[in-house]
């Protein structure tokens, strides 16, 4: 029977997704697999990846999983090579892995600042360094970098987190200008979305406040997955540069 979810521009594309063990990355993997993509999921929690793989395969989708720490360049290169060996090539890299341990600067959580810089910025750069040689060789490909509304907004406690997302926006804009006219670079900037992200906030009071004030209205992670699919589905000569996707009730930040 014809699968009505499948889309010709996504069908059989090999999509490599970092941070696919929960939240937005998991939703992207599940959604694109339904649309006929071959998805390669990377994250540290391989037990979670195994469960998602089973689900995708039981629904007839094609997927593979890999133990990935985005802060390790060699590991990221191996992830991309694994995807090429498994499915023949790669067409899209979704740089999604991220952490958000919010805190005031004068709490001096310097280890958490470094963790955000390592995962949210260096992790994306490691992804670019791993996939760009493949894309340049075949002169096609697409980077989709999951930033945040914090890539253009900063407020108390989000200073370092927003700085990492501002950086990814700058990196994406620069990358788009430096690569061939046939390589696409997309930013998808989510607002408050259902996921495990606030678990990385180490201050319990702050986590409670973030969950109650900022995260009381969330959209399902599937909403971000649909935005990612939209960017992939466009004809190859159309590069969706930026999509900001927030809950309707979230008017700013
Ligand atoms: P989750 O915490 O649910 O998912 C984060 C993912 O990143 C997990 O799969 C985690 O996997 C992975 N990850 C973290 N560190 C590493 C690492 N060192 N190496 C590999 N993977 C890692 O949160 P979200 O789904 O919300 O987050 C996804 C992205 O969306 C992030 O970039 C986040 O900043 C962004 N975002 C989310 C918003 C929201 O409201 N949810 C709003 C704006 C942006 P594991 O721990 O298994 O390695």
User: What span, in angstroms and rounded, lies between the C-alpha atoms of 209 and 213?
Assistant: 6
| The pLDDT of residue 109 is above 50 | yes
How remote is the CA of residue 87 from the centroid of ligand 1, in Å?
Answer: 25
- Our answer on whether the CB atom of 97 is closer than 6 Å to any ligand 1 atom is yes
Contacts of the segment 196-202: beta carbons below 8 A, 24+ positions apart: 196/22, 196/23, 197/23, 197/98, 197/99, 197/100, 198/100, 200/99, 200/100, 200/101, 201/100, 201/101, 201/102, 201/103, 202/101, 202/103, 202/109, 202/112
Going along the chain from its start, the domains and CATH numbers come out as 14-245 (3.40.50.720)
Give the Cα-Cα-Cα angle 54, 57, 63 (nearest 5 degrees).
Answer: 95
User: What span, in angstroms and rounded, lies between the C-alpha atoms of 90 and 79?
Assistant: 11
Whole-prediction pTM: 0.97
| The pLDDT of residue 160 is above 80 | yes
Side-chain half-sphere of 113: how many Cα atoms within 13 Å? 12
Query: Tens of pLDDT along 95-107?
Result: 999 999 999 999 9
> What pLDDT score was predicted for residue 251?
83
Query: Tens of pLDDT along 6-65?
Result: 788 999 999 999 999 999 999 999 999 999 999 999 999 999 999 999 999 999 999 999
Query: Tens of pLDDT along 191-234?
Result: 999 999 999 999 999 999 888 877 778 999 999 999 999 999 99
| Closest C-alpha to ligand 1, atom 41 | 193
Q: Which residues are catalytic?
A: 161
Q: Name the residue among 148, 147, 145 with its Cα closest to residue 127.
A: 145
- Our answer on whether the CB atom of 151 is closer than 6 Å to any ligand 1 atom is no
């Amino acid at each position: 029977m014809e699968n009505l979810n499948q889309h010709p521009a996504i069908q059989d594309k090999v999509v490599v997704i970092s941070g696919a063990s929960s939240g937005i990355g998991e939703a992207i993997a599940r959604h694109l697999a339904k649309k006929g993509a071959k998805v390669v999921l990377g994250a540290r929690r391989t037990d979670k990846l195994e469960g998602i793989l089973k689900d995708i395969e039981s629904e007839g989708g094609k997927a593979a999983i890999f133990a990935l720490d985005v802060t390790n360049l060699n590991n990221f290169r191996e992830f991309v090579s694994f995807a090429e060996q498994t499915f023949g090539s790669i067409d899209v890299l979704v740089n999604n892995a991220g952490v958000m341990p919010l805190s005031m600067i004068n709490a001096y959580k310097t280890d958490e600042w470094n963790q955000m810089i390592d995962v949210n910025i260096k992790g994306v750069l490691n992804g670019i360094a791993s996939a760009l040689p493949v894309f340049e060789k075949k002169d096609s490909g697409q980077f989709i970098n999951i930033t945040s509304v914090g890539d253009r907004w900063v407020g108390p406690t989000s200073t370092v987190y927003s700085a990492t997302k501002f950086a990814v926006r700058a990196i994406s804009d620069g990358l788009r200008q430096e690569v061939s006219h046939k390589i696409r670079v997309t930013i998808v900037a989510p607002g408050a979305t259902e996921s495990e992200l606030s678990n990385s906030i180490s201050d319990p009071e702050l986590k409670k406040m973030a969950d109650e004030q900022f995260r009381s209205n969330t959209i399902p992670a599937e909403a971000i997955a649909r935005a990612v699919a939209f960017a992939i589905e466009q004809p190859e000569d159309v590069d969706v540069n930026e999509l900001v996707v927030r809950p309707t009730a979230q008017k700013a930040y």
